[in-house]
Amino acid sequence: MKKRLDDLLRATVEYCFDAGLLKRGPIPEYVIEVPNNAAHGHFATNLAMTFASTQRRRPLDIASTIVDNLKDEQGILESTKIAGPGFINFKIRAREWRKLLVQILRERADYGRSLAGQGEKVIVEFVSANPTGPLHLGHGRGAAIGDTLCRILSFCGYRVEREFYINDAGEQIRFLGESIYSRFRQIRDPDYPFPEKGYHGDYILDLAAAVSRDLDLETLDREEAITLCAEKGKAIMLSEIREDLTRFRVDFDSWYSEMDLHNSGLLEDTLKAVRRASYLFEEDGALWIRTSEMGDDKDRVIRKSDGRFTYFASDIAYHLQKHERGFTRAIDIWGADHHGYIPRIKASLTAHGIPEDWLSVMLIQLVKLWEGGEEIRMSKRAGTFVTLRELMDDVGVDAVRFVFLTKNHESPLDFDMDLVRKQDSENPVYYVQYAHARICSIFRKAEAEGMVLPAEPGDLLGGLVLEEELDLIRTMSLFPSLLRDISLTLEPHRLTYYLTDLAALFHRYFNLGTKTPEHRIITSDSNLTQARLWLVDGVRIVVANGLRLLGIGAPEKM
């Protein structure tokens, strides 16, 4: 609808140019928006105001010139008003809104889908948890945001690859092995020392038990045993991580191992490439990359003086790999504590001639858990943390995913266990899901009363005349552009707000019937009943599509 209005306005301006009513020149950037005040109509544009400076005329004059010459060939406008400092406010005929409902009913599960992304190849890397422990809340938030974003991007016509980067080559894995081994030895010898940088969580005990079942740790020498513990432990953790993610409805297309990066020689190749670009230098026995010339605040070490590579080296190689794999765009979702890495990664990409905006990094802020009015403090090292698995057991996948998307990812999130456990309208996820269930219930009732909807709504929708009914359609019509906006701004949380709004509109509409029986959806007038059933079917479609993009179920009964 916005597009049609835009075409109409441009045609009008062209006409005014031809007729000499406006000085010919470039049309300035302007917006068409849905005003937050309903009295300002369905759409408003600031066109006349942005025109003012180049036309050297008062915005109000320009507005009336435009309004007097509107090229509304198809008669979509019901009224046009000039208001305030020079806004033009439009109302669209009800007939046009009803046509949009027809479109929703036709497209069904595809409603909202678009080709906006033009098949652009995007790689989204998220979660990427170290396989040294179970997934915790922070990973869950990243997983929910990343997965929903991917679903939306795909729906908007991008070719999306979801990737999990496995940090399986560094010191941390060694500490994991030492921790497991130490716990094993402590079974016999409680005084056996535990590594200072080890992992204290109880899950290490389980790992020790599992590893020692398969291997005779007793007979191996310490080094050998630790290496094996590390390998086995890593494999077990990784498979648990996969299980948790599957249960959380997050599927990855690829799992990229840092170890492979080393073994396949890609790391060495990368270094050669960097060297060719002459951004490397040696100092104090270490190998450095001159990222400071590309916007980083200092140079960074790539290979330490002990001969081992830093993680940064793998990160550079990994990102160059992404680029070589043909992705025209990359999105990384990291914990906010990694923000310091952005400049150096971008700098090293720049050194290879990769444009700065090829990579977008989304930083996910902290999750704090609250229960009984108190914060539950968490620390992975100390082993006091709530895992994603425990959270799923406690409150369910739907609620967890929804809550993780109720805030901008750049804001810290307070996760209130008491609220999320509630299964009533205070819990936003139930509020939205219930809208869907309620509509299904209405349909069951209609069927029980022998109501059958024809295949196409035809002219029946003319019965939809209430402001509340047209409001619902208008809100539904925003869905496709909302998804496009989300894919551009990378702000998937906006979808939960939209669905909550739509659900509220629907519940309010439904409740009209409790006061005024003739506003009930199922009435004695069969034509009107059918029209209203089509309307709420539209709502059901949009809610279901939205929930699907959030990875949340749309129940038919609650």
Partner RNA sequence: GCCCCCGUAGCUCAGGUGGAUAGAGCACCAGAUUCCUAAUCUGGGUGCCGCAUGUUCGAGUCAUGCCGGGGGCACCA
Residues 107-146 within binding reach of RNA (CB under 7 A): 130
CB of 494 to RNA, least distance (A): 6
Element (H, E) at 346: helix 341-350
Task: Tell which positions 74-113 bind RNA, by CB under 7 A.
Answer: 83-85, 87, 89
Angle between helices 388-395 and 137-155 (to 10 degrees): 80
539 binds RNA (CB under 7 A): no
- C-alpha 261: how far from its chain's center? 28
171 binds RNA (CB under 7 A): yes
Task: Tell which positions 458-487 bind RNA, by CB under 7 A.
Answer: 478, 485
276 binds RNA (CB under 7 A): no
Are the C-beta atoms of residues 3 and 96 closer than 8 Å to each other?
A: no
Task: Indicate the burial class of 145 (C-beta count within 10 angstroms; 0-12, 13-18, 19 or more).
Answer: buried
CB of 530 to RNA, least distance (A): 12
336 binds RNA (CB under 7 A): yes
CA distance 258 to 182: 26
414 binds RNA (CB under 7 A): yes
CA distance 382 to 540: 47
Per CB under 7 A, the list member of 111, 155, 312, 534 interacting with RNA is 312
Are the C-beta atoms of residues 184 and 217 closer than 8 Å to each other?
A: yes
Per CB under 7 A, the list member of 170, 195, 462, 553 interacting with RNA is 170
Q: What x/- string results for residues 359 through 398 when contact with RNA is judged by CB under 7 A? A: ----x-xx--------------------------------
Per CB under 7 A, the list member of 411, 447, 518, 527 interacting with RNA is 411
Number of residues that bind RNA (CB under 7 A): 95
Of 243 and 426, CB closest to RNA: 426
162 binds RNA (CB under 7 A): no
488 binds RNA (CB under 7 A): yes
Q: What are phi and psi of 330, to 5 degrees?
A: -130, 140
Per CB under 7 A, the list member of 17, 194, 358, 431 interacting with RNA is 431
Task: Tell which positions 513-532 bind RNA, by CB under 7 A.
Answer: 513-515, 520-522
CB of 137 to RNA, least distance (A): 14
CA max distance for the chain: 96
Of 40 and 98, CB closest to RNA: 40
56 binds RNA (CB under 7 A): no
Determine the interface stretch with RNA among 164-172, 184-192, 217-225, 373-381 (rule: CB under 7 A).
Answer: 164-172
Written as one string, the DSSP assignment of 212-245 is HHHS-GGGS-HHHHHHHHHHHHHHHHHHHHHHHH
Of 251 and 447, CB closest to RNA: 447
Task: Tell which positions 26-55 bind RNA, by CB under 7 A.
Answer: 31, 33-37, 39-41, 44, 46, 49-50, 52-53
CB of 213 to RNA, least distance (A): 27
3-class SS of residue 73: coil
CA distance 69 to 51: 16
494 binds RNA (CB under 7 A): yes
CB of 529 to RNA, least distance (A): 8
> Residue 449 corresponds to which tokens in the numbers above?
């009363």
Are the C-beta atoms of residues 201 and 386 closer than 8 Å to each other?
A: no
Task: Tell which positions 199-238 bind RNA, by CB under 7 A.
Answer: none
Per CB under 7 A, the list member of 65, 172, 321, 530 interacting with RNA is 172
Task: Tell which positions 279-308 bind RNA, by CB under 7 A.
Answer: 283-286, 297-298, 300-301, 304-306, 308
CB of 188 to RNA, least distance (A): 30
Of 392 and 499, CB closest to RNA: 499
Instruction: Tell me the residue length of the chain.
Output: 558
> Residue 303 corresponds to which tokens in the numbers above?
């290979």
195 binds RNA (CB under 7 A): no
Residue that has been written with the tokens 């992975």 in this structure: 380
CB of 519 to RNA, least distance (A): 7
339 binds RNA (CB under 7 A): yes
- The DSSP output letter for 305 is T
CB of 427 to RNA, least distance (A): 8
Task: Tell which positions 256-275 bind RNA, by CB under 7 A.
Answer: none
Of 186 and 370, CB closest to RNA: 370
Task: Indicate the burial class of 547 (C-beta count within 10 angstroms; 0-12, 13-18, 19 or more).
Answer: buried
Per CB under 7 A, the list member of 215, 437, 451, 466 interacting with RNA is 437
Per CB under 7 A, the list member of 7, 384, 445, 525 interacting with RNA is 445
CB-side exposure of 304: number of CA atoms within 13 Å?
6
Q: What is the CB neighbour count within 10 angstroms for residue 378?
A: 18
Of 22 and 217, CB closest to RNA: 22
Quote the Cα angle for 14-17-22, to 5°.
125
CA distance 284 to 385: 40
Of 163 and 296, CB closest to RNA: 296
CA distance 76 to 353: 50
Element (H, E) at 333: strand 329-335
CB of 185 to RNA, least distance (A): 24
Residues 6+ apart with CB under 8 A from 428: 402, 403, 406, 496, 500
CA distance 479 to 429: 18
410 binds RNA (CB under 7 A): yes
4 binds RNA (CB under 7 A): no
| Strands of 206-325, DSSP E | 254-257, 280-283, 286-289, 300-303
Determine the interface stretch with RNA among 108-116, 182-190, 419-427, 541-549 (rule: CB under 7 A).
Answer: 419-427
Written as one string, the DSSP assignment of 385-423 is --BHHHHHHHH-HHHHHHHHTSS-TTS-EEEEHHHHH--
456 binds RNA (CB under 7 A): no
Are the C-beta atoms of residues 240 and 319 closer than 8 Å to each other?
A: no
